[in-house]
Amino acid sequence: MSLELLVTLGVFAPLLGAAIAGFFGRRIGDIPSQAVTTGLLFFSCAVAWTVFSQWTWGDLEPFTVVVSPFINVGDFQSNWSIRIDALSATMLVVVTTVSSLVHLYSWGYMAEDDSKPRFFAYLSLFTFAMLALVTAADFMQLFFGWEGVGLASYLLIGFWFKKSTASAAAIKAFVVNRVGDFGFALGIITVFWMFGTIQFAELFPMIASKAGTGWQFLGYTWSALDLAGVLLFIGAMGKSAQFFLHTWLPDAMEGPTPVSALIHAATMVTAGVYMVCLLSPIYEYAPTASLIIAVTGAVTALFAATVGLMQNDIKRVIAYSTCSQLGYMFFAAGVGAYEASMFHLFTHAFFKALLFLGAGSVIHGMHHEQDMRKMGGLWKLLPVTYAVMMIGTIAITGLGIPGIGGFAGFYSKDSIIESAFAAATSGHSPAGYFAFVVGIFAAGLTSYYSWRLIFMTFHNKPQWTEEAMAHAHDHGHDDHASHARIETHSEPLPDDHAHDDHGHDDHGHHGPLKPHESPWIMLVPLIALSIGAIAAGFVFAPNFIGHHETEFWRGAIFNGPTNHVLHESHDVPLWVKWSPLIVTLTGAFIAFWFYVLKEGLPKRMAANEGPLWSFLYNKWYFDEIYDVIFVKGAKALGDFFWKVGDVKIIDGLGPNGAAWASLKSAARLAKIQSGYVYHYAFVMLIGVAGLLAFAIYAWGA
Amino acid sequence: MSAIPNILSVVTFLPLVGAGLILLARLMARSNEDSIARWVAMITTLVVLAVSTVLVLQFDSTNAAYQFVENYVWFAGAGYHLGVDGVSILFVLLTAFLMPICILASWKSVETRVGDYMIAFLLLETLVIGVFTSLDLFLFYIFFEGTLVPMFIIIGVWGGANRIYAAYKFFLYTLLGSVLMLLAMLWMANEAGTTSIPALKEYAFGPQAQSILWLAFFASFAVKMPMWPVHTWLPDAHVQAPTAGSVILAGILLKLGGYGFILFNVPMFPDASVAYRPLVFTLSVIAIAYTSLVAFRQTDIKKLIAYSSIAHMGFVTMGIFAGNAQGMQGAVFQMLSHGLISSALFLCVGVVYDRMHTREIAFYGGLTNRMPWYAAIFLMFTMANVGLPGTSGFIGEILTLTGVYQASTWAAFVAATGVILSAVYALTLYRNVMFGEITNPALATIKDIDLRELAIFVPLIVGTIWLGVQPDLVLNYTAASVDAVVNGWQLATGG
């Protein structure tokens, strides 16, 4: 079988799975639906690894399979196609690996749910859209995948549609992403009129010709490529939850945890990073746009890390952590180190999916409890989960010894920080120093909140025993602003025979519970991801960012003639190489001091509700501000246009106006109504008659 | 040229034959007259659909000229002149496609005066197809204005409680527009000495004449679309119309306005079309932003969808006057796509209205619990309405935005906010109706869609997805004709 055909089948397999489970899931039953979707996903995964290994160690050349035409109007030409190069091969592996493991994990995690076929159909649909996104050869298919994953995200966040918070979060995710897509669409159109094509292969070679030229937009003349770059980046900001458009991501945690791992950590939210790297030919000639990307990324990395410090919901901590790590990827791309950015995307997928699924295992074991203040001491009861969470935490905090080695995050995160430094010293990016300082500082914060999560969850005194619960009831400061939530499966039907199995769920709310380790079907994916979290760094570092990087990327990422950032990042001073380790250890120690040595101190500090604590705990008040400006604003404007614009002004001057006031009385109106058809027909006939008469008059019979 | 002689006349007047049969059946039949009427209407519309399909398959899409032309001198230089190009032929197909769906949708919900109802629909079909096939001013005017009569009757007889006000508003607006159009037609016939539309397209009107004539036609078509600020009749008309009436209104009758712009304003008054472009763009982007916000605040499902229709028509008017192939192809595509999507959305409202007899959003909530198939279908069309790529709704929006961007980045910028706002109102509606627990006890036993209802939706689902994935099916048909219009326009204005 040719590789082209194999790749095509691999991309479409998840769609087939989604269709089978979606349309026939109820008829064929839960287990067949799960088996079909999961099986097809593992097939895709095998294909992806085949392509990736041939790419990395073989001599595969980039190729594009054209499946069929899509939109063709003049120069606006687009095809359904599958583009294989270094970037898409990397993404294929990331997407299908995490997705197939998440499918498997969901067998256990969703076992109690009563609409499993729907869940698996959505997961597979998401995977298909994501594969379409990463293999796009032009902007239209990219946009299709882009919005397709948004749809899947909407469906999966709102999967438990009975919960009001879930459906609200689903809308928020879709709408905020649409704000990004607003910019993205304008960016695509700008590129189209600038270059007369939306196909990457035609576009990229032409870009240099527009460097330094101007472009008219909204009455101003902008630097052409900077304008296009910024508009496209707005799309990336929405999808990847960057500062200002980040508010949907924490709320997206309303979705089932496997979804958070797949979509809101490992794959979909990295689509923005992927796009920026893919469009490196544009950004390399767009210094202002790159500067904006670097600053936005750095601010997001810092902002999200500060908010992550104070959250009590285990999933929200990891969500802010994701947001922050995406910030790292963006500032890496912004300073010109696209390779480091993609490498962090790659390693992050493994350890972040691991952390989320591990958190899911905790939530599962705690009977849907997500508040870390009600956990503690779980390491003995959930030993495997504890072990994999430790691996994930070591990986994300980038613990490792320069010159010797470490887990996955060590390689990629340090490369980003060193690239920022190199970009600063070589003068390649004006944001270099800022990004570097933020990168170092946020690494410390990352370490603090990550270890805080471990200590609160697995160490300390258990908070779920009977005494602890009673204590909490007496003295507990149960603040209403808490965002910790209970993850509930949809209610079983009254006649559902599985109802007895659900009995223990009730304990979560009002009684002691017995945390338990998760079943093997959940632990196997965790162990598989742990291998990635440990090894993805040292195995692939030479290919992504090391000595073999040019052979690996083979032109998929473009570096301008003055961009030597990645190369120079290998030669930064020793203190730059060691400083991430130092701040990481400091962060870890502070977490240890607060949450283990001085256990209980943070709780008392939180109870004081100091201004800094409130500011961070309430996420810099973004939601509150947006609610006042946008939500209330749109409602007020809508009401105004409707009740004043349409009813008072337009109808008031028009049909209901003074001239017609006399007709408003019911009796008169009824009279008109009874004859209106005839009136109308009469007017029309007179018109036709007039026309005929005139014609006869004009030309003579 | 064609397997069926005078195929355009056949497809235009075939529905009248069905109407005649229903009248005949009423005279002959003693019982089950209603059932006969339904079946006759159904079969007639299906035959029309079959003939239209033959028509489309025999059409040469590489040729921009009018095809299947029938031209007989009628009287005094006016002709019985029919013909179709790549644009109008697709509207004929859309009409023929939606009619059987309307009949099926009315199968159970219409119980009074069934025969009259079916006759009104068949008459409407003849008149609408007539608009799209006629190539003579007289003929066009008769068909164009004639469509209002059966529509009035459909709203007036089978409409809701407040149909008087709705019809009154409709009457006022349309009267204003059609009087102006009639005067403009008289002027044109007088000056050019012909009533043939293809001939008028070749005739060069002076700049002043163009300016005035353009406005007169614009008045009529803008009311039809409807464009802001002459749009307020539409929500009322929709709310009062029966489900199938709304389908025809949104699916086809609104498109007469856009079709008119492409047939008259752009090719006959090219200079005026350039001069008035800012006006059209302004009204269009106001329509998009303003009515989307108004839609967001509606409490009646049908009204919300009606306002959303106005916003979507804003993309059409913008695209037509953008002055390039992307804009006009996008506009035509948007009209066809909206014909499928808005029809489906009104049918979705009909499903719950038939069960509960209310369209208040607040009455509903949590329907997904009881109606999973309905939830899937409604979601699909909600997403299509939002313009999700992969559905036909996306193609029209992106193409019109692309086209408009070349003419005015400001217009494209404001119009693109519609992409955000449509998600706001459409998803909020979906959430309020479908998500959550069922709290209203009246909904506790509501039933999911049955086979008949599924049969209504399946063709629309297939059409929406198919055109979303393979838009070239339509774009290849419209390309030659639209290019001819756009190139002619650019030549005439020296652009």
Query: pLDDT by residue (tens digit) across A308-333?
Result: 998 899 999 999 999 999 999 999 99
Is A220 strand, coil or helix?
Answer: strand
Report the alpha-carbon angle A491-A492-A494, nearest 5: 115
Provide the 3-class DSSP secondary structure of residue B71: strand
Q: State chain A's maximal CA–CA distance in angstroms.
A: 108
Give the pLDDT of residue A135. Answer: 96
So what's the pLDDT on residue B19? 92
Angstrom distance (rounded) from CA A648 to CA A655: 11
Is the CB of residue B414 less than 8 Å away from at least one CB of chain A? Answer: no
B389 three-state secondary structure: strand
| CB contacts, 8 Å: A687 with chain B | 141, 145, 178-179, 182
For B294, the closest of A70, A162, A638 (CB atoms) is A638
CB contact under 8 A, A182 and B420: yes
- Tell me, yes or no, if B233 comes closer than 8 A to chain A by beta carbon: yes
Range of the domain at A412: 3-466+516-608
Q: Report the residue of chain A nearest B395, measured CA to CA.
A: A71
DSSP string, A39-99: HHHHHHHHHHHHHHHHHHHS-PPPEEEEEEEEEEETTEEEEEEEEESHHHHHHHHHHHHHH
Contact flag A171-B416 (C-beta cutoff 8 Å): no
A612: closest CA of chain B, how far (Å): 34
Residue A268 carries which DSSP code? G
Q: Name the residue among A672, A677, A691 with its Cβ closest to that of B152.
A: A677
Name the pLDDT band for B193 (thresholds 50, 70, 90).
confident
Does the pLDDT of residue A39 top 50, yes or no?
yes
**CB–CB of A673 and B168 under 8 A?**
yes
The model's confidence at residue B492, banded by pLDDT at 50, 70 and 90, is confident
Which residue in this structure is represented by tokens 């709102």? A158
Residue written as token pair 């519609």: B418
What is the pLDDT at residue A181?
95
Cα dihedral B39, B45, B49, B51, rounded to 10, equals: 100
Q: CB–CB of B164 and A151 under 8 A? A: no
Give A679's Cβ-side CA count (13 Å radius). 14
Residues of A in contact with B417 (CB under 8 A): 182
Distance CA B124, CA B144 (A): 10
Partners of B70 in the beta sheet?
B82
**How far apart are alpha carbons B273 and A83 in whole angstroms?**
42
Cβ contacts of A164 on chain B, cutoff 8 Å:
435-436
Q: Is residue A628 part of a domain?
A: no
* Nearest-Cα residue of chain A relative to residue B380: A151
Q: Is B334 left (phi over 0), alpha (psi -120 to 50) or beta?
A: alpha
Residue of chain B minimizing CA distance to A73? B326
Distance of CA B125 to the CA centre of its chain: 12
Judging contacts by C-beta atoms under 8 Å, the chain B residues touching residue A25 are none
Q: Give me the residue from B369, B412, B434 closest to A189, CB to CB.
A: B412
Q: What DSSP line would sit under A492-540, residue for residue?
A: PPTT-TTHHHHGGGGHHHHS-----PPPHHHHHHHHHHHHHHHHHHHHH
Predicted confidence (pLDDT) per residue in A604-619, tens digit: 777 777 888 888 888 8
Rounded Cα distance between B335 and B396, Å, is: 8
| Cα separation, B131 vs B139, whole angstroms | 8
- Cα B422 to its chain centre, rounded Å, is 19
pLDDT at A694: 58
State the nearest Cα–Cα gap between A643 and chain B, in angstroms. 9
Q: What's the longest Cα–Cα distance across chain B?
A: 68
What are A203-228's pLDDT values in tens digits? 999 999 998 899 999 888 999 999 99
Confidence of residue A246 (pLDDT cuts 50, 70, 90): very high
Residue A396 in any domain: the answer is yes
Residue B430 has pLDDT above 80, yes or no: yes
Asked if the model's pLDDT at residue A357 lies above 90, the reply is yes
Half-sphere exposure of A406 (CA within 13 A, CB side): 23
Q: Residue window 279-318, chain B: list those with CB within 8 Å of chain A.
A: 290-291, 293-298
Who among B182, B230, B476 is closest to A687 (CB)? B182
The average pLDDT across A367-390 equals 88
Which residue has better confidence, A612 or A416? A416
CB atoms near residue A697 (< 10 Å): 11
Residue of A585, A546, A553, A537 whose CA lies nearest to A567: A546
| Chain B residues close to A691, C-beta within 8 Å | 137-138, 141, 182, 185-186, 189
Mutation choice for B interface testing from A641, A648, A649, A660 by most B CBs within 10 A: A641
**Is the residue at A473 inside a domain?**
no
**B25 vs B307, higher pLDDT:** B307
Within 8 A of A72 by CB-CB distance, chain B residues are 472, 475-476
Would you say residue B261 has pLDDT above 60? Answer: yes
Q: CA A400 to CA B218: how far, in whole Å?
A: 72
Give the residue on B whose Cα is nearest the Cα of A182.
B416
Q: A–B: how many Cβ contacts below 8 A? A: 227
Tokens of B82: 């029919």
Contact A691 B324 (CB under 8 A): no
Residues of B in contact with A654 (CB under 8 A): 172-173, 230, 232
Structural domains in chain A (count): 1
Question: Quick one: pLDDT band at residue A511, thresholds 50, 70, 90?
Answer: low
Cβ contact A171–B428 (<8 Å):
yes
Mean pLDDT confidence for A172-197: 95
Q: Does A378 map to a domain?
A: yes
φ/ψ region of A62 (left if φ > 0, alpha if ψ in -120 to 50, else beta) reads beta
Note the pLDDT of residue A509.
45
What is the structure's pLDDT at B28? 83
- Our CA-based measurement puts residue B472 at a distance from the nearest CA of chain A, in whole angstroms, of 6
DSSP secondary structure letters along B106-150: HHHH--SSHHHHHHHHHHHHHHHHHHHHB-BHHHHHHHHHHTHHH
Cβ atoms of B130 and B12 closer than 8 Å? yes
Element spanning A156, H or E: helix A139-157
A641–B294 C-beta distance less than 8 A: yes
pLDDT in tens, A44-80: 999 999 999 999 998 889 999 999 999 999 999 999 9
**Over 50: is that where the pLDDT of A503 sits?**
no
Query: How long a stretch of residues is chain A?
Result: 701
**Nearest residue of A to residue B389 by CA position?**
A144
pLDDT of residue A484: 45
Domain assignment present for A347: yes
B322 pLDDT band, cuts 50/70/90, is: very high
Question: What's the average model confidence in pLDDT over B193-202?
Answer: 89
Rounded to two decimals, the ipTM of the complex is 0.94
> What distance in Å separates the CA atoms of residue B125 and residue B42, rounded to the nearest whole number?
12
| DSSP tag of A661 | G
For A437, half-sphere exposure in the C-beta direction (CA atoms, 13 angstrom radius) is 5
CA gap A502, B144 in Å, rounded: 64
Rounded to an integer, what is the distance from CA B282 to the centroid of its chain?
22
In a domain, A701, yes or no: no
Say how far residue A345 (Cα) sits from the centre of its chain. Answer: 12
Task: Report B:114-153 residues touching A (Cβ under 8 A).
Answer: 137-138, 141-142, 145-146, 148-149, 152-153
> CA-to-CA distance for B101 and B119, rounded, in angstroms?
15
Instruction: Report the distance separating Cα A120 and Cα A683, nearest Å.
Output: 61
Residues 6+ apart with CB under 8 A from A330: A236, A240, A242, A272, A273, A276, A293, A294, A296, A297, A300, A341
pTM of the model: 0.92
Top mean-pLDDT range of A60-69, A688-697, B31-40: A60-69
Alpha carbon distance A258, A148 (integer Å): 19
As a whole number, the mean pLDDT across chain A is 86
* Number of other residues whose CB lies within 10 A of the CB of residue B318: 32
Q: What is the pLDDT of residue A686?
A: 62
- Distance between CA atoms of residues B301 and A68, nearest Å: 38
Q: Any idea which of A40-49, A448-457, B110-119 has the lowest mean pLDDT?
A: B110-119
How many whole angstroms separate alpha carbon B367 and alpha carbon B301? Answer: 14
Query: Is A415 within 8 Å of A343 (Cβ atoms)?
Result: yes
How far is B408 from B279, CA to CA, in rounded Å? 12
- Residue A199 β-bridge partners: A138
Comparing CB atoms, the residue among A679, A688, A698 nearest residue B190 is: A698
| Separation in Å, CA of B325 to nearest CA in chain A | 7
Which of B116, B153, B472, B477 is the best mutation test for A, with the most CBs of A within 10 A?
A: B472
| 8 Å CB contact of A74 and B401 | no
From the list B164, B189, B383, the residue facing A670 with the nearest CB is B164
B472 at the A interface (CB within 8 A)? yes
Measured distance between the N- and C-terminal CA atoms of chain A, rounded to whole angstroms: 77
Residue A335 lies in a domain: yes
Q: Give B146's contacts in chain A (Cβ within 8 Å).
A: 684
Interatomic CA distance for residues A328 and B467, integer angstroms = 40
3-class secondary structure, B84: strand
- Whether residues B186 and A151 touch (CB distance < 8 A) is answered with no
* CB-CB contact of B271 with B493 (8 Å): yes
Residue with tokens 């908010």: A307
Mean pLDDT of A243-260: 92
Chain A hits for B148, CB-CB cut-off 8 Å, are 680, 684
Contacts of B187 in chain A (CB under 8 A): none
Q: Is the dihedral of CA A662, A665, A667, A671 positive or negative?
A: positive
Q: Residue A392 and residue A348: Cα distance in Å, rounded? A: 10
> Inter-chain contact A69–B472, Cβ cutoff 8 Å?
yes
In chain B the first and final C-alpha atoms are separated, in Å, by 37
> Does A660 have pLDDT greater than 80?
no
Q: Which range is least confidently modeled, A39-53, A128-142, A501-515, B357-371?
A: A501-515
Give the whole-angstrom CA distance, residue A505 versus residue A508.
6
User: What is d(CA A356, CA A252) in angstroms, rounded to the nearest whole number?
Assistant: 13
- What pLDDT does A507 receive? 38
CB B158 within 8 A of CB B112: yes
Interface contact B326-A74, CB threshold 8 A:
yes
Residues 328-357 of B with CB under 8 A from A: 329-330
Parallel, antiparallel, or unpaired: how do β-strands A400-401 and A220-223 relate? Answer: unpaired
Residue A538 lies in a domain: yes
Confidence tier at A649 by pLDDT (50, 70, 90): confident
- DSSP-assigned letters across all residues of A543-603: HHTSTTHHHHHTTSS---TT--HHHHHTT--HHHHHHHHHHHHHHHHHHHIIIIITTTHHH
Question: Comparing A500 with B263, which gets the higher pLDDT?
Answer: B263
Residues 6+ apart with CB under 8 A from A447: A397, A583, A584, A585, A586, A587, A588, A591
Q: Is B30 helix (H, G, I), strand (E, B) or coil?
A: coil
The whole-number pLDDT of residue A496 equals 35
Percent of chain B with pLDDT over 70: 98
Using the structure block, give the residue that is written with the tokens 């036909």.
Answer: B392
